[in-house]
Amino acid sequence: MISRRRARGGDFLRLRLPGRSLRIGAPRGVHPVDDVAIHGLRRLPARPGDSVLDLGCGTGVYGLAAAVLGAGRVLFTDIDPRAVRCALANARRNGVPGAEGRAGDFFEPCGRERFDLIIANLPQTPGPVPFLRSKWGGPDGTLFLRRLLREAPGRLRPGGRLFFVLHDMGDSRRVLRQARRRFRLRALHTLRREFAPGEYDAYHPGLFAYLDRLRRRGKCRFRGRGDQRWFLFRFMEAALRGPPRGGTPRGPLRSRAAGSARGGRARARSGRSAGGAPARGRAAGP
């Protein structure tokens, strides 16, 4: 169950997870908790004791959910110091002890630390020029994801895993080809997201026409006509090739948060197959 309250300067929402509810603030300018995150965190493969990096944390919703699943340590990072401050405030608000936050580009704020689980929901909407920092993923949408796949192996502990969100507005096939070279992949869940072209033109004039040109070249995969269009989100687990680590997963979170990625019309499937001043800080205990 999820309830949302608008407050001056941003949003507050309450997210009910099994045995635990989280109260999450999202000040204006920080990527809000959306239906994609609500579906994603229900499949989060966090294990008790894991050391977790929430890269591009926004409100920190994924890292907080990992803490609920028993993660031993959570580090929030984001290039936007406002996001890091927001994630730390949410950690304090929800009594997540020992969470840390650091602002900076990609893995730069992590020093030499390695993690059991890296969570990344990175910008991946293609665009001819940068538009929104939380959405623009380079000319074909793969800029940040390909960087993640290149750099993550050096940031994972043996047996470490990546949990990343991938959608078909960007060249997801290119990302998957690269991912398979270093990781064993598992699609934990897919989500159909409906949209109207105007949504993209509101981000940047002419953006939908650009996406449509990519689609004709096979580099963007949305379907439908007129205002009834849709594409897929995939929630991927990528395990670094190498000997598996011990420990039994506690299983994915199943919040009762039902929903769609647009106006109650999205359908989800589960499958087993397939810049500014640095902000650093620590969340106090309860």
Ligand X SMILES: C[S@@+](CC[C@H](N)C(=O)[O-])C[C@H]1O[C@@H](n2cnc3c(N)ncnc32)[C@H](O)[C@@H]1O
Which of residues 20 and 147 has its CB atom nearest to ligand X in the complex?
147
- Does residue 126 touch ligand X according to CB under 6 A? no
* H or E segment to which residue 38 belongs: helix 35-41
58 is an interface residue for ligand X by CB under 6 A? yes
Q: Does 279 bind ligand X (CB under 6 A)?
A: no
Q: Residue 107 Cβ, how far from ligand X at the closest point, in Å?
A: 9
Radius of gyration, alpha carbons of the chain: 18
Only segment of 53-61, 167-175, 249-257, 262-270 that touches ligand X (CB under 6 A):
53-61
Sequence-distant contacts of 176-184: CB under 8 A, at least 24 apart: 178/146, 178/149, 178/150, 179/149, 179/236, 179/238, 182/149, 182/153, 182/240, 182/241, 183/149, 183/238, 183/239, 183/240, 183/241, 184/238, 184/239, 184/241
Nearer to ligand X, 162 or 217 (CB): 162
Question: Which residue, 78 or 168, is less far from ligand X as judged by CB?
Answer: 78
**Does the footprint of ligand X cover residue 156 (CB under 6 A)?**
no
Phi, psi (5° rounding) for residue 53? -110, 125
Site string for ligand X, 60-99 (x = CB under 6 A): -xx---------------xxx--x----------------
**Least gap, CB of 112 to ligand X (angstroms):** 18
C-alpha angle 15-19-25 in degrees, rounded to nearest 5: 25
Q: Is 105 in the site for ligand X (CB under 6 A)?
A: yes
Chain residues binding ligand X by CB under 6 A are 31, 33, 37, 56-59, 61-62, 78-80, 83, 105-106, 121-123, 133-134
